Structure 1
Amino acid sequence: MTELNRQQDVQEAVRDAVDSGSDIYLRVKDITLKALTERRLDMENISNVADAVSKGIGEGMGSQGEYSKEAFTQAVSALDDALATAAEASKLAIQEAASKVSDYSQHDFNKAADDIQQLEELFLGTVKKIAKDSNQIIADIVNDFTTHARQSGTAVGQQASIAMDALKGLPRISKDTLISSTVAATSALAEIGSGILSGIAESLRSSQAKK
């Protein structure tokens, strides 16, 4: 399956979840986490998933009428929390990789940490796009949400902050450390993060099923 087809599948699944008006938060979060775990946990793939989810939200909003604000809030909160989980997984991946410093450089870790810091802006920027192709009512809902989120913070922003504090304790790596190519190292970190995220997602599903 091509990446475009994967994105379309995610978009359609989210649209149907929002359109149904039932269990929107849980369904959108599950769809998002599933999509993230099917790819490497790097910024390109995270961005693709977030974009597909936001498009699905926008398409599903049209049928909600007076419940549009509630449906939107549930859906974007699900995306926010899923990205926060991805930030946590990325942090754990860096910490795990730090125990194998011979395979990575300080640059690799700095790049991975920078990506975590960018996740909140990625989230808000992606959500903001929903307003562009929507009617005025939905555009106002989107704009109110993003304005409030920038002022009060987001789940992914909070998790990114926690991650950065935790990563400050990592030992600095000598510039003389022999490493593989940055591309290979970045790919390896993304693979570790994907595996960790899969474990977290499965744990969340299990705990939800017990409720």
Structure 2
Amino acid sequence: MTQDTDRIAREVEDAVADDVAGVSARVRQITLKVLSEGQLDGAALKSVMDAVVAGAKKGVERPDPSNAEALREAMRGLDDALASAAEATGLAVQEAASRSSEFSKQSLKQSLDDLGSLEKLFIETLGEAARHSTGHARDTLHGLAEHARNSGTAVGGRVQGAVSQLAQAMTDMTQEQMQAGAHTLRQQGALLAGIAAGFLKGVADRLQASDTPDRDA
């Protein structure tokens, strides 16, 4: 999935520079929207994570006491969005396991492995961003990465529950469903990523509705 990473970065930059109080929800919305527009796979997740972090860093370049808090809130929004992406991926694998004639055990295991490594990818992205930053942005990102390693993340909590449930579902698949060639695995992986993006769009729509003020109130 090709993402307009420059557009993502600009939208996050504007959100971070605009209002600290609303940063987390806005970054979560931006991230969920773009992830639900195509295929929800590892490459897309990494590309979007990098763009979100780059935009957040640029949005807090100006010296201001509130910038560290804005950056923390932006990363909280990203973490929350990734937790929703983990939920959507888990739902997609669960559905695929029930459609055993269309998916091999190999393709589901690959998706499960990717899901299990999502928190690690998030923390590595924070650490990498910190190493390429200076000043308060470097210190804030480094602190966030260390805190995530020591205390966990929203996405990590969601992943842990999903992986254990899906591993059980996969044990019910027969041995004949285990083998598939490389081409078939790529096709099945793309189909799974599309299913996951569809589930994520539903999650994103629900969250957006809950974030929208009631005009009749």
TM-score tier, shorter chain, comes to: over 0.9
Count matched residues. Answer: 209
Inter-partner Cα distance in structure 2 for 1:29 and 1:154 = 15
**For the structure 1 residues 210 and 21, does the alpha-carbon distance in structure 2 shift closer, same or farther, using more than 3 Å as the test?**
closer
Preserved contact between residue 68 and residue 136 of structure 2 (Cα < 8 Å): no
Aligned position for 1:163: 162
- Check if 1:188 corresponds to 2:191: yes
CA-to-aligned-CA distance 1:177-196 (integer Å, 9 cap, x gap) = 38681111111111110100
Aligned position for 1:10: 8
- Check if 1:174 corresponds to 2:177: no
Inter-partner Cα distance in structure 2 for 1:92 and 1:136 = 41
Q: Which is worse superposed, 134-143 or 92-101?
A: 134-143
- Check if 1:204 corresponds to 2:207: yes
Q: Which is worse superposed, 39-48 or 174-183?
A: 174-183
Match of 1:63, SS state, is coil
Aligned position for 2:128: 129
Inter-partner Cα distance in structure 2 for 1:96 and 1:3 = 25
Amino acid at match of 1:189: L
Preserved contact between residue 92 and residue 192 of structure 2 (Cα < 8 Å): yes
Amino acid at match of 1:201: A
Match of 1:143, SS state, is helix
- CA shift, 1:171, in A, is 4.1
Q: How high is the TM-score relative to the length of structure 1?
A: 0.93
- CA shift, 1:125, in A, is 1.4
Amino acid at match of 1:76: M
Preserved contact between residue 21 and residue 64 of structure 1 (Cα < 8 Å): no
CA-to-aligned-CA distance 1:61-86 (integer Å, 9 cap, x gap) = 11252112211110000000000100
Preserved contact between residue 41 and residue 193 of structure 2 (Cα < 8 Å): yes
**For the structure 1 residues 124 and 171, does the alpha-carbon distance in structure 2 shift closer, same or farther, using more than 3 Å as the test?**
closer
Q: CA RMSD in A?
A: 1.8
Residue segments in structure 1 that go unaligned for 5+ positions in a row: none
Q: Percent identity?
A: 34
Preserved contact between residue 12 and residue 56 of structure 1 (Cα < 8 Å): yes
